Amino acid sequence: MIRLYDTLTGDVRPLAQRDEGKVSLYACGPTVYDHPHLGHARQAMTYDVMRRYFEWRGLAVHHVANVTDIDDKIIARAQAENTTESAVATEWKQVYDDVMDALDILRPHDRPHATEYVEEMVEFIQTLIDNGSAYANDSGVYLRVHTVDGYGDLVHRSLDDLREGAGARVEVDDTKEDPLDFALWKAAKPGEPTWPSPWGDGRPGWHIECVAMSLGILGDGFDLHGGGNDLVFPHHTNERAEAIAAGRDFAQHWAHNAMLNISGEKMSKSLGNFTTIQTLLDEHPDNARALRLALLQTHYRKVMELNPDVMAQSREGLKRLDAMVRKASGADVPLDGAERDATAIAAFTAAMDDDLGTPEGVATMFETIRRANAALDAGDDAAAMLVATAIDLAGAMGLSVEPDGLGSGGDGGDPEIDALVSARTEARASKDFAEADRIRDELTARGIVVEDTPNGPVWHRG
RNA sequence: GCGCCGGUGCCCGAGCGGCCCAAGGGAACGGCCUGCAAAGCCGUACAGUCGCGGGUUCAAAUCCCGCCCGGCGCUCCA
């Protein structure tokens, strides 16, 4: 049984499925107006791993993530660049997609755009006005927060606590009945894109889109709603409030991933180049996988440290995975149809079922790799099973294997390199070690690593 | 200030009342293997203790209290 921490109840509890064997997951997606940064990567990776693991467990996952293509930041950027909001959104959505593809993050099954759901949002707001939970005035439509039962439950704060926070802020908008009330619909302002509504032209507030889209696509009482823990308040709290006010059955379980620290500090301006995903990807060809491994080695609910050192350490770890596969390939171990090692599978499943314990899952994978290598060295029949199991576990977490240059001696895939490797083999055969080492140095200079195995040399890009 | 989450070896990080003199990865060191390497395997040192100080318990890294440090949040509008 899969158990997951639920922000609402504050404990780890079984993830109930509305429909047996299926999981409906709504994870808040990006507002597209700028380069995605590493925080976006952690968020997207968290739910990608969740989804992959659920699927590996045999569950049919319906993964939905919105794309916010209209909001203040997009408007600001459009004005600054003297272009349209939709042009800004289209451009940055593409950038986002490219980066996520590079990180090997599976595309959610549905990716609704806010601007495609305005009609549904208007209807939803109308329902709230009709039942007295919302009111319209000159500046827009607002939700009457005090009418919502258990409004602050998700953040575990009382209405008074929250009100104190709101009151402490300057410039309270006095068109609202209560400082806590928030906008469902914002009245049109000059120069902003607008949509028609019964309360005049305007645009939707931030939270309403996720309610309309999650309920619209996944239906009432969907299983799991996720996002970064910076969204617990106000975003998720307000989404939930809207659904409750409308009498709808909302998410049954809430998951939130923790933030990232870069070099011991929160990710921000002073760290400059290390903040965007693209920059990280440009720094090393293997950084996409290394980032995934690094992320997996920290539990998703814990603040995580990321710095160049951590990335380098992860890249080294990845080599163990790849090297094992190369070794198995060199030994001609039959992986197709190999059984799985029950001990490893059981340990892995237990760890992952318990609130997505990826650090322990990774530990199990590495232990399996060590056992596989030992079996390979010993010529043990269990080798195939262990290698196949390790690859399987890696795959369950979205870690791909890239042995690179697979194959031995003459058929490594690159004629020039293969020729050099063959020449070295001949030199060694005739005991001309000086020549053999010379060739190896030349290969090293080209970034090629040669490993000698009982079955001949195997090379890869290092 | 208020709320929530953290502080574990050289680094990253599991563990969350006894199985912990604390997993896994990286880095280090020794051995095996190798012509020498690389990779791999085996082993060792690093945590005499898990931010600090009290307390509860037969038993605490794990629970409670206080303090210090770090992080996230504290609406809408600008």
8 Å CB contact between A242 and A207:
yes
Which residues, including other chains, have CB under 8 Å from residue A213's CB and lie 6 or more apart? Answer: A26, A64, A66, A112, A114, A117, A120
Confidence at residue A256, expressed as pLDDT on a 0 to 100 scale:
93
Q: How far is the CA of A360 from the C1' of B48 (A)?
A: 27
Residue nearest to nucleotide B38 (CA to C1'): A451
| In contact, A218 and A64? CB cutoff 8 Å | yes
Q: What is the pLDDT of residue A418?
A: 85
Whole-angstrom Cα distance, residue A456 to residue A85? 60
The CB-side HSE value for A226 (13 A sphere, CA atoms) comes to 29
Instruction: Tell me what pLDDT residue A281 has.
Output: 93
HEC assignment per residue over A90-104: HHHHHHHHHHHHHCC
Q: Which residues, other chains included, contact A1 with Cβ-Cβ below 8 Å and sequence gap of 6+?
A: A14, A353
Q: What's the Å distance between residue A255 CA and nucleotide B1 C1'?
A: 28
CA distances from A20 to A17, A23, A48, A113, A264 (A): 6, 8, 21, 29, 43
Check residue A1 and report its DSSP letter: -
Q: What is the pLDDT of residue A70?
A: 92
Residues A155-204 pLDDT 10s: 888 888 887 765 444 345 567 888 889 999 999 988 889 999 999 999 99
pTM of this structure: 0.94
From the list A154, A146, A301, the residue with the least C-alpha distance to A239 is A154
pLDDT value at residue A170: 39
Which nucleotides of chain B have an atom under 7 angstroms from any protein CB?
A: 1-6, 11-15, 23-27, 34-42, 70-78
Query: Which pLDDT score, from 0 to 100, does residue A424 have?
Result: 94
Question: Which residues of chain A are under the pLDDT cut of 50?
Answer: 167-171, 270-273, 405-411
Each residue's pLDDT tens digit, A435-444 = 999 999 999 8
Query: Which nucleotide has the least CA–C1' distance to A267?
Result: B71
**Distance from residue A8 (CA) to nucleotide B31 (C1'), in Å?**
54
**C1’ B51 / CA A150, Å:** 36
Q: Which residues contact A284 (CB under 8 A, 6 or more apart)?
A: A290, A311, A315
